[in-house]
Amino acid sequence: MLSEILIATKNVGKAAEFKRIFGEKGITVKTLLDLPDVPEIIEDGKTFEENALKKAQTLTDKLNMAVLADDSGLSIDYLNGQPGVYSARYAGDHNDAANRQKVLEKLKGVDDTNRGAHFNCALVVTSPDKKPLVKVGIVDGRITTSEKGENGFGYDSIFYYPEYKRTFAELTQDEKNKISHRGRAIEKLMESFDGWMKN
Which residue numbers belong to the known binding site for Mg(2+)? 71
Query: Could you say whether residue 142 binds ligand ITT (CB under 6 A)?
Result: no
CB of residue 101 vs Mg ion: minimum separation in angstroms? 20
Cis peptide before 39 (omega within 30 of 0): no
Q: Any contact of residue 43 with ligand ITT (CB under 6 A)?
A: yes
For every residue of 39-97, DSSP letters joined together read: PP-----SSHHHHHHHHHHHHHHHH-S-EEEEEEEEEEGGGTT-BGGGGGGTTSSS-HH
State yes or no: residue 14 binds ligand ITT (CB under 6 A): yes
> Measured on CA atoms in the order 169, 171, 176, 179, is the torsion positive or negative?
negative
Active site residue 111: no
Q: Which of 61, 71, 129, 174 is catalytic?
A: 71
Residue 172 near residue 129, CB atoms below 8 Å = no
**Which of 78, 153, 164, 196 is in the footprint of ligand ITT by CB under 6 A?**
153
Q: In the complex with ligand ITT, which residue's Cβ is closer, 127 or 167? A: 167
Asked if 71 interacts with ligand ITT (CB under 6 A), we say yes
Q: Does 87 bind ligand ITT (CB under 6 A)?
A: yes
Q: Which residues are CB-neighbours of 157 under 8 A, at least 6 positions away?
A: 100, 144, 147, 148, 149, 150, 167, 168, 169
Q: Are residues 139 and 171 in contact, defined by beta-carbon separation less than 8 angstroms?
A: no
Residues 109, 116 contacting (CB under 8 angstroms): no
69-88 mask for Mg ion (x: CB under 5 A)?
A: -------------------x
Closest approach of ligand ITT to the CB of residue 198, in Å: 27
Task: Report the interhelical angle of 12-24 vs 181-198 (nearest 10°).
Answer: 60
Which residue lies nearer to ligand ITT by CB, 155 or 193?
155
> What does the binding site for Mg ion look like in residue numbers (CB under 5 A)?
88
> What does the binding site for ligand ITT look like in residue numbers (CB under 6 A)?
9-11, 14, 43, 70-74, 87-88, 96, 99, 119, 152-156, 168, 180, 182
